[in-house]
Copies of this chain bind each other. A is one copy, B any other.
């Protein structure tokens, strides 16, 4: 299951903590930035969803941390959307620095009406855009990713 999308993040000083490394909560923010960039590239953007009155709150999230990121590190954050079913979808993430896998994670999202917070099905155009995105040929060969962690 290869990644077709990645974006770059540089570790901000504000994201570090007194242990001298990036705080573990920063990864959730990077995952989100990558998810937003993914949707911007492939599906008219997260804002397009929000403009249609749809929010996609995080229902579950999990992260495994292998090696700390440090201030000013240039990170590559891989993201993919998969397992779309009804009013839910999953994303997966890998954070790398120079080919070393620092962390990986996954998130489960609901699609809800922004006002009522009631579940709503993924719009067909978004489902199609994601299917397109995940099947294109410019895939990132995961064998290029480090093998330190196994994605669940």
Contact = CB atoms under 8 A, between A and B. Distances in A.
Interface string A64-77: 11001011100000
Instruction: Determine which residue in A16, A57, A61, A65 has the highest number of CB atoms from chain B within 10 A of its CB, and name it.
Output: A61
Interface string A22-63: 011100110011001000100001110010000101111111
Size band of the interface chain A makes with B: 35 or more
A17 B12 CA distance: 10
A114 interface: yes
A54 to B, nearest CB: 11
Contacts of A21: 18, 57
A60 B65 CA distance: 6
Contacts of A16: 17-18
A29 B12 contact: yes
A72 B36 contact: yes
Contact of A62 (B14, B50, B60): B60
Contact of A57 (B19, B46, B55): B19
Contact of A17 (B14, B24, B59, B117): B14
Contacts of A68: 57, 117
A41 B74 CA distance: 15
A25 B29 contact: yes
